[in-house]
Amino acid sequence: MQSIIQGVILGFIIVLPGMSGGTVFLIFGIYENMLKDLVKFNVRPYLPLLLGTIIGIFGGGMIFALFFEAFRDETAVFLMGCLIASIKPVLKGCPKVNPKRLIFLTSGLLLGLFMGGEPMGIVMGSENISWLLLFIGGAVSSAAMIIPGIPGSTILIVLGIYDNILFAIKELQLGILIFFGVGSLIGIFSLAKILNIIYEKYRSLISYFFAGLILGSSRALLPYTLDLSIVVIFIVGFGLVWIWSGKKDHSIDKLREDGT
């Protein structure tokens, strides 16, 4: 029962842009063993966690989809606050910026601005979407989610399909969800370990690139209007991730010291 509850919490958290699934695994104390088990395809101990995660994703996705429909600007700026605040854990422990890291930061910023597209709204979810893009989005976002500090949902915003996935969850569009789900499973089992190795080897460069990507892609969450309530909601979203990310600092430091 505890694993199911943990899964529900995980599912709700990873729906939020800026929230890292890997961070949750660290806090739950299962990160290292889970990564080893995934490589060995030993998934049986994590089936209750997976069940809870699916429940949490569907619950969180439906809630945000409904809020996007009824309160588009308020929901968008809340998610924007979450997203921008995630730069803190992404750059946690990285060396100060130098010309090389600045190039990666700028490259990520430009790519995020280019791919972010127009401000998103849940009404865009009904548009046709490439099955290949769904598959790639599922694979890359799920693999990135495993890495502590890296928010997998940010990948979906960069690819411009975050709102599509929310819409598919709300409307139970099984075709979209199946393609995305298959990509996610392949990403977890095939890409997570490789991505983690690359990340450990080029941590600072990838982190600066991802920080730029986050800043650039946040344009997709720009509000159509601006008033005091919008600013307050942005601060709430920002503060939520900023405070949450501080809870796992010691866990990630320990993980890095152990060399895993």
CB atoms within 10 A of CB 28: 17
Residue 221 DSSP symbol: G
pTM of the model: 0.70
Question: Is residue 101 a contact partner of residue 204, using CB atoms and an 8 Å limit?
Answer: yes
- pLDDT per position as a tens digit, 5-27: 888 888 887 787 666 677 677 66
Rounded to an integer, what distance in angstroms lies between the CA atom of residue 199 and that of residue 187? 15
Give phi and psi for 76, each to the nearest 5. -60, -45
Segment 131-138 shows an average pLDDT of 88
Rounded to an integer, what distance in angstroms lies between the CA atom of residue 81 and that of residue 59? 21
The number of C-alpha atoms within 13 Å of 77 and in the hemisphere containing its C-beta is 17
- Map residue 72 onto helix, strand or coil: helix
Rounded to an integer, what distance in angstroms lies between the CA atom of residue 105 and that of residue 102? 5
- Residue 130 makes CB contacts below 8 A (sequence gap 6+) with none
Sign, CA torsion 134/43/15/154: negative
As for how many domains the chain has, the answer is 1
- pLDDT per position as a tens digit, 43-100: 888 888 889 988 988 888 888 888 877 888 888 888 888 888 878 877 877 888 899 9
Instruction: Record the tokens describing residue 170, joined without a space.
Output: 């709300």
Give phi and psi for 117, each to the nearest 5. 70, -160
In terms of Cα–Cα distance, which of 11, 10, 7, 18 is closest to 239?
18
Asked if the model's pLDDT at residue 169 lies above 90, the reply is: no
What is the predicted pLDDT for the residue at 257? 45
Q: How far is CA 167 from the centre of its chain?
A: 17
Domain of residue 170, residue span? 2-258
What band does 258 get if pLDDT is binned at 50, 70 and 90? very low
Q: Where are the beta strands (DSSP E) in the chain?
A: none
